[in-house]
Amino acid sequence: MRNFERVSVDAAVAWIDGATHCLGVEPVPLNQVPGRVLGTDIFAAAPIPPVDSAAIDGFAVRAADTIGAGAYNPLALPSVAVVAGEPLPPETDAVVPLDQAESTNGRDVVLVEPLPPATNVDRLGAAADTGALLVAAGTSLLPHHIGLLGLAGFAEVPVFRRPRVRLAIAGAALMRGFDDGNRPMIGAAIERDGGALSESTLAEALAGPDADIALVLGGAGLGRDDGSAAALASAGLLEIHGVALIPGETTGFGRTCAGAPILLLPDPPAACWWSYELFAGRAIRRLGGRDPALPYPAQAVTAAHKIVSAIGSTEICPVRLCRGGKIEPMPGFLETGLRAAVDADGFVIIPEASEGYPEGASIKVYLYRLR
């Protein structure tokens, strides 16, 4: 049996934060940036719109010419048909909506009320002056950010490089066939967190070139199946083996020969999952310039029943929403494994020093779904 000294979850998180720093940025074409994270602040290089433009489809006129128009004094004015977004023609400064104008010959419009200047006009710089901050560094790019960047003339933008994540299967996990959910589960989570996944052998993962982080599934145990931990201790550097986390107790933390962080994730599926969520996912999110926090909406919710936890380990407790928008605990990960995540609405993280929460307490709950 290997030496096994459990550290606190806080200490393990501090190790992660010390071992991972935001990677550099790279330019990427706008149609390939969905879900990427902006690497620098982006400022407007020119005003948006660049000139006074029609805000709607209609007829461009000179506002001064419309003075005096009325129901009893319809004015026929020269005009130019314009399309929303089109620069205003010279000498015009207002746009008559199509349904408020009659144009018998396609050129003149007949107006029955005066138009103030700039009516239905997007003024030069109305959306942004030159130098205005358009999108801030660190923003996970949503479609409307991409639309504004394209409108501002950017064909590509600097985004944080995707962390190269090397994933190795080892130990007992290597022997299993289809009935192994850990690999597709962790692969999906790496994708969610913006990592670029490549699979390799344990030996390649320990060597560590061309990877920003390595993860090993299996062989992180304490007994017979501790091959990954033993190999890391021998070939690289095993700095921590064991965390006061339930589930996830046998997680290992170290360095590959190339100096990259390497994490050993436990084999039992629920332990593998929470070890990923609290440590590996955080590392990948930090490397990629993302918010390191758990990627779930969190809110304060009232406990409908007492929630119990043993002192000495941080415990992840599955919960479900019940009457009145409160939460109640469910059979835990030690009892039903991953099913405790699938059947739950969310989870609570109960700190090491806590025995849990009494009925009626307000608790921070992470929810899997928005609604």
Is there binding between residue 83 and a second copy (CB under 8 A)? Answer: yes
Is there binding between residue 351 and a second copy (CB under 8 A)? Answer: no
Q: Select the span of 13-21, 54-62, 64-72, 232-240 touching a second copy (CB under 8 A).
A: 54-62
301-330: which residues touch a second copy (CB under 8 A)?
none
Is there binding between residue 41 and a second copy (CB under 8 A)? Answer: no
Is there binding between residue 31 and a second copy (CB under 8 A)? Answer: yes
Distance, in Å, from the CA atom of 158 to the CA atom of 287, rounded to the nearest integer, reads: 15
Site string for a second copy, 95-124 (x = CB under 8 A): ---xx----------------------x--
CB of 279 to a second copy, least distance (A): 15
CB of 49 to a second copy, least distance (A): 8
Phi/psi of residue 272, nearest 5 degrees: -60, -45
Full 3-state SS string of the chain: CCCCCCECHHHHHHHHHHHCCCCCEEEEEHHHCCCCEECCCEECCCCECCCCEECCCEEEECHHHHCCCECCECEEEECEEECCCCECCCCCCEEEEHHHCECCCCCEEEECCCCCCCCCEECCCCCECCCCEEECCCCECCHHHHHHHHHCCCCEEEEECCCEEEEEECHHHHHCCCCCCHHHHHHHHHHHCCCEEEEECHHHHHHCCCCCEEEEECCCCCCCCCHHHHHHHHHCEEEEECECEECCCCCEEEECCCCCEEEEECCCHHHHHHHHHHHHHHHHHHHCCCCCCCCCCEEEEEECCCEECCCCCEEEEEEEECHHHCEEECCCHHHHCCHHHHCCCEEEEECCCCCEECCCCEEEEEECCCC
Selected from 155, 203, 230, 361, the binder of a second copy by CB under 8 A is 155
How many residues at the interface with a second copy, by CB under 8 A?
Answer: 83
Selected from 268, 289, 292, 356, the binder of a second copy by CB under 8 A is 268
Is there binding between residue 339 and a second copy (CB under 8 A)? Answer: yes
Is there binding between residue 338 and a second copy (CB under 8 A)? Answer: yes
Is there binding between residue 135 and a second copy (CB under 8 A)? Answer: yes
Tell me whether residue 155 or residue 230 sits nearer to a second copy (CB atom): 155
161-190: which residues touch a second copy (CB under 8 A)?
172, 178-189
Is there binding between residue 27 and a second copy (CB under 8 A)? Answer: no
From residue 307, alpha-carbon distances to 162, 298, 301 in Å are: 39, 18, 13
Tell me whether residue 49 or residue 208 sits nearer to a second copy (CB atom): 49
Tell me whether residue 166 or residue 255 sits nearer to a second copy (CB atom): 166
CB of 227 to a second copy, least distance (A): 10
Q: Select the span of 110-118, 256-264, 289-297, 303-311 touching a second copy (CB under 8 A).
A: 289-297
Selected from 17, 21, 27, 34, the binder of a second copy by CB under 8 A is 34
CB of 31 to a second copy, least distance (A): 4
Q: Tell the burial category of 98 from Cβ atoms under 10 Å away from its Cβ (0-12, 13-18, 19+).
A: middle
CB of 301 to a second copy, least distance (A): 13
Distance, in Å, from the CA atom of 258 to the CA atom of 22, rounded to the nearest integer, reads: 18
Is there binding between residue 337 and a second copy (CB under 8 A)? Answer: yes
Tell me whether residue 12 or residue 128 sits nearer to a second copy (CB atom): 128
Selected from 17, 26, 41, 335, the binder of a second copy by CB under 8 A is 335
Is there binding between residue 198 and a second copy (CB under 8 A)? Answer: no
Tell me whether residue 133 or residue 203 sits nearer to a second copy (CB atom): 133
